[in-house]
Amino acid sequence: MKNLKTNGSKDPLGLFSSPPVDQVGITERAKRFTTRSLKTDCKSDGLRMILSMIDLTTLEGADTPRKVRQLCYKAEHLHDSIPDLPSTAAVCVYPTLVKVAKDALSESSTVKIASVATAFPAGQGHLDHKLEETRRAVEDGADEIDMVISRGKFLSGDYAYVSDEIAQVKEACQGARLKVILETGELGTLDAVRRASDIAIRSGADFIKTSTGKISPAATLPITLVMLLAIRDHYFATGEMIGMKPAGGISKSKLALQYLLMVKETLGDAWLDNEWFRFGASSLANDVLMQVAKQEEGVYQAAQYFSKD
């Protein structure tokens, strides 16, 4: 690729072109999901589904081993006073804390360990370091790797670099599932979101993910819709399912239910499973728990009845 200098473009053959996206149309369609009425059985089924799809996340400089242990306990025991609640899908931590999480979760736990890698959140690191970081996280016990793309390279038009990097990280994952974070808040347009989604999907992503949570705006309904449509087109073309993970900015049950509805109407019920859809969130779980408790008991409980981890 790099030797092709026919017109000065970094993508002279248009290998990384994607279908156009109409922002007005996407915004209108996304708005439709917010006018649906999700109540009674639909709501309680949906709330439990949301809990089972959460990647319970802590990604702070101040994270401690004990905080990660607490997080792991919470993932398996969301609110023991309500019986039959699911576990969260995963815990999501920094690479240095993967071993702690592995140790804290029982052998038989269904909760996966996801680790961010590749110089999260900025992605401003050397490729060999990123690959080494990925390998070590997997060797320490990570089931899933959440990588960030090199936004600088992407925005400069060097799509081949972005694609190669994803493919190499995928190899370093050694079978662990790879979530590719586009950091849509830095991409600028929905066309760029679509292009980045297509590049990630074609380069080996098992999941595409909106955001690190460190940049605002993070996940939104319109941006997630664009990514779901990329997943759908890939499925139509190849029959292969790709997962979706909106992350950051989803802290309320009502909004999370609207995301589920959007997935259902865009991709179908097959994606309504934590195998294919996740929420990257830290405070969403408690809001959902409050709603579940309200449905069980008929009244809202105060926030202090739910553990903050």
Partner 1 sequence: MPSKTKKPKASWKLSPALESTAQVDIATRYKNYIDGSWVAPSEGKYFPTKNPATGKKLSEVAKSTQPDVDLAVKAARKAYDEVWSQITPRERGKYLFRIARLIQERAREFAIIETLDGGKPIRESRDVDIPLAANHFFYYAGWADKLEYAFPNRKVAPIGVAGQIIPWNFPLLMAAWKIAPALATGNTVVLKPAETTPLTALKLAELFSDAGLPDGVVNIVTGDGTTGAELANHPGVDKIAFTGSTEVGKSIQKSAAGSNKRLTLELGGKAANIILEDAPIDQAVEGVVNGIYFNQGHVCCAGSRLFVQESVYEEVIQKLKQRIDTLIVGDPLDKNTDIGAINSREQLKTIQKYIKIGIKEGADLYQPECELSTVGSWCPPTLFTNVAQSSVIAQEEIFGPVLAAQTFRTVPEVIEKANNTPYGLAAGVWCDKGARLFQLTNALDAGVVWGNTYNQFDPTSPFGGYKESGFGREGGLHGLSAYLHTSSH
User: In the complex, which residues of this chain contact partner 1 (CB under 8 A)?
Assistant: 19-22, 24-26, 28-29, 35-43, 45-46, 48-49, 52, 86-87, 89, 110-111, 177, 229, 236, 260-261, 264-265, 269, 272-275
Given the complex with partner 1, which of 104 and 149 has the nearer CB atom?
104
Q: Which residue has the tokens 């996740």?
A: 278
Q: Other CB atoms closer than 10 Å to residue 266's CB: what's the count?
A: 18
Given the complex with partner 1, which of 80 and 236 has the nearer CB atom?
236
**CA separation for the pair 85, 114 (Å, rounded):** 21
CB of 276 to partner 1, least distance (A): 9
Catalytic residue among 146, 158, 206, 287: 146
Q: Edge-to-edge strand order for the sheet containing 144-148?
A: 243-245, 207-209, 177-181, 144-148, 112-117, 90-93, 54-57, 279-281
| Residue 141 Ramachandran class (φ > 0 left, ψ -120 to 50 alpha, else beta) | left
CB of 144 to partner 1, least distance (A): 10
**CA separation for the pair 42, 22 (Å, rounded):** 31
CB of 162 to partner 1, least distance (A): 23
Query: CB under 8 Å, gap of 24 or more: what pairs does 62-66 form?
Result: 63/93, 63/94, 63/97, 65/97, 65/100
Given the complex with partner 1, which of 218 and 262 has the nearer CB atom?
262
- DSSP secondary structure string for all residues of 246-258: -BSS---HHHHHH
Given the complex with partner 1, which of 107 and 128 has the nearer CB atom?
107
CB of 85 to partner 1, least distance (A): 9
- Phi, psi values for residue 278, rounded to 5°: -135, 155
Given the complex with partner 1, which of 72 and 261 has the nearer CB atom?
261
Residue 294 catalytic?
A: no
Catalytic residue among 55, 74, 245, 287: 245
Residue 112 catalytic?
A: no
Q: Other CB atoms closer than 10 Å to residue 259's CB: what's the count?
A: 23
Residue 179 catalytic?
A: no
CB of 90 to partner 1, least distance (A): 9
Within 13 A of 26's CA, how many CA atoms are on the CB side? 20
Positions annotated as catalytic residues are 146, 209, 245
